[in-house]
Structure 1
Amino acid sequence: MTSISSDVVRLFWAVLVGMALFAASVCAAEPRIVDGVEVREAIIKRLAAAGEAAAPSLLPQKQFYLCDAPLIVEPTFGGWRSVNVICPSPAKWQIAVRSQVKGAQIFNPVPNVAADLRAVFLTRPLRRGDRIQPGDVEMRPIETLSTGSIYASIDQVMGRLMDQSLTPQIALMPRHLAREWSVEEDDILALRIVRGGIEILSTGVALETGQFGDRIRVENARSGKVLLGKVTGEKKVEIIAKGRE
């Protein structure tokens, strides 16, 4: 009986020691000096998740501070043009880095639909000059921290020519496609005006040429007033504000 009890005690302590060693190995991450390569990769990965292509300029051999946790990348000044790269442990520190993203800004979707915000992404890499065919694109969720010029429908890009090579990790945007006018000067347009939560549909005349996402001046056919609108589709414009008559 005494021998069995001793064996049980030894087994109990062995289990405890093993559990303690395992916990210590899990909790203790290997500390390292963060360098330019790691910072650059963290920025590119974070912005890709937000639908942006980043090209931060950092010297690979540049060394920063000690860190034993994954780096955190956050936008600054309301957009992705520059970011804060943060290490939370062992002593919290952060650095500001220009992410080299043109026109980055926070996209504010319609309230209560943020969870349903989706954009057009490629399903495979395409090269400049390739024409988008069925199966080349798909709809995917996108973070609210992204540019406002994203495509919300596959119909908006089908058959368009690529103006630059692109991977499936980046949301498709007007700058990626060859210029194709959605509105020509003097076109008869379908106007959408939203005021105080009320939607008004009207007709107008284009005073300028524009493609998807462009802001152009239009003339309201009913009132004759000159308005500023955003091109939202083929001969479709959503009014933003009154322009100069």
Structure 2
Amino acid sequence: MNNKVLVIPIIIILYCFDILALSYVNGEKIKNDAKNWLKTFNVEENLSILPEIKYPVCDKIEFTNISTNYSLIKAQCFSPNEWSLILRNKLEKEKRKFNVKKNIEKKSKKPNFPEIEIFVLKQQLEKGVKISDLDITTKKVKKNFKSAGLITSREELVGKKTKVRIRRDHPIYAKYLKKNWLIEKDSKVIVENNSGPITIKVDGIALENGDYEDRIKVKNLRSDQVIYGFVLNKKKVLINPKQN
């Protein structure tokens, strides 16, 4: 009789322990589930979690990768209790270094640009200097720069004045050069005024750049008067051009 009395409390105690065991999920359980999940992706497991940690019971623990290399994993429960935690998966340092090195090598790969021949200056020229044929040479370079407006012939360079300082061995663009005007600002000109049968000519100074038939301002050196005229050639500006 006494033996039967002792058996009943033991059974009750064991049953209570089973109930308690089913009421939570410990760290060991979470780690094992995460390990099996990582295996499906062929990822090594080196999870860090305390085995005695306890979370409310869960029907199924869901795992999500929240890093680029499975070093951080999110464990979540949705039923019958909702909870989540972040697991750290400590990967081998050697593999991390390899991945970093691989990424650096990938970024350092340069595109294979074609080689072209361009016109360059033998020496640096300052602003306002006229370029001669002796200043020019050619150079083979990788075409890794903009080619729009690039000077492609000697004819485009010889006799042109520099608009800005141009360094030696550098690509030369049209925007670096001054335009060859028929008459340039501050150059001496002959101002010719045709008034009926009478033609008057005086010396003047061009106050603007101009091409053929452009209307520009000139200064009459005799009277200091500023007047407008039309460019005829490199030396002459007409005040009242004759009508054909």
Structures share fold, TM-score greater than 0.5: no
TM-score (normalised: structure 1): 0.27
TM-score, normalized by length of structure 2? 0.27
Q: Which has the higher contact order (CA 8 A, sep 6+)?
A: 1
Structure with higher Rg: it is: 2
